[in-house]
Amino acid sequence: MSRRRLRLRHAVALAVALLALGASTALAVFVATVSNSGNSFQAAALFPGAIKMASGSYTGDATDNRAITVGFQPDFVIVKDEGNREGVARTSTMAADASKPMGTLTPLQTDNIQSFGPTGFVLGTFNRVNQSGRTYHWVAFKANSKAMSVGSYTGNATGQSITGLGFSPELVIVMGNVAQRSVLNFAGGRTYRFDTGTSIASGVTSMDADGFTVGTALETNAATTTNHYVAFNDFPNSIDVSSYTGNAADNRDIATPAFQPEYMLIRADDNTTGRPALSRPASLAGDNTLLFAGSAMINNRIQALNANGFQIGNSGDANAAGVTYYSLSARSSAP
């Protein structure tokens, strides 16, 4: 046996051993290739933290227990129609048939997003998610230890730190089980509802090394309530959380993500004028943006998902002069 071939076998054996041991120094999986006589190594695109997510659309049919296939078992799903139905979200920590309306003072509801399964999620018959003839858009995420975490905690009304995420989050979403609005907080910004409104005092008060801290706001820490959270971390080619300053220019391209998003979320950090959170999945056509409250899709906000970012219009919801906006850009980077 030649020395070159022997060295190759030793290298492959070492790589397999390191993977079996879960060695933290392995940054990528390597696979042998026979594309040339030198038997070189070729890096595969399997990096720790690569996010698994998908988006799509369906037409409502009012059928109960309707399965929507996404290709994996999700940990976080948002559904919103193109019309005036309120957006709904569910995390894997929400038990039984329960999901959270995103734009009103509403507790967890049944008959919306009913459950998660090995290949997707299951719908009920409620008009928020499955009214006959309506077009709905969804986005689904799979949690992992580097880029996204879901969990829950019990409110104590005095303030507490939520730990164990494994990273310092760039975006936290909190959804209580009671009749309070869902909220979001970008690192560096303030806590806001998904519908219009100025900031909430003492909501998410800090992003910490291994989690986040909540204050006394009812939306994030009312006594004895169960609060479900989703936390995102920046991760190359998967998750990008950034900010930009509005300039009121139409057809403005933002190139910060440096990849084409499959899903976008934008919220103005404006404590003077109430502005809604905006979202756009790749399945949404034309110059259209979805709102989380019970409003129809609207244009001149997130106008397009570009090859290296996104384009915004001149609406004050997305691009008022001098206002700071935070954005989440996400794409699937895991097989």
**Looking up tokens 């139409």, which residue turns up?**
250
Q: Which residues of the chain have pLDDT under 50?
A: 1-46
pLDDT tens per residue across span 154-207? 999 999 999 999 999 999 999 999 999 999 999 999 999 999 999 999 999 999
Q: How confident is the model at residue 35, as a pLDDT?
A: 34
Distance of CA 320 to the CA centre of its chain: 24
- The pLDDT value given to residue 36: 35
Q: Give the residue from 166, 160, 266, 243 showing the smallest Cα distance to 203.
A: 160
Element (DSSP H or E) covering residue 12: helix 3-21
CB under 8 Å to 285, separation ≥6 — which residues? none
Note the pLDDT of residue 34: 33
Q: What is the side-by-side order of every strand in the sheet holding 113-117?
A: 66-69, 120-123, 113-117
Distance in angstroms (rounded) separating the CA atoms of residues 280 and 264: 5
From residue 292, how far is each of 83, 130, 195, 266, 300 by CA, in Å?
A: 11, 16, 6, 11, 16
Q: In the chain, helix, strand, coil percent, each to 5?
A: 10, 40, 50
Residue 23 pLDDT: 39
Question: Which two three-digit tokens encode residue 249?
Answer: 């220019």
Q: Where are the domains of the chain?
A: 3-43, 52-335
* pLDDT for the residue numbered 47: 58
Query: Bridge-partner residues for 77, per DSSP?
Result: 90, 140
Question: 326, 189 in Cβ contact below 8 A?
Answer: yes
pLDDT digits (tens, 9 = 90+) for 280-323: 999 999 999 999 999 999 999 999 999 999 999 999 999 999 99
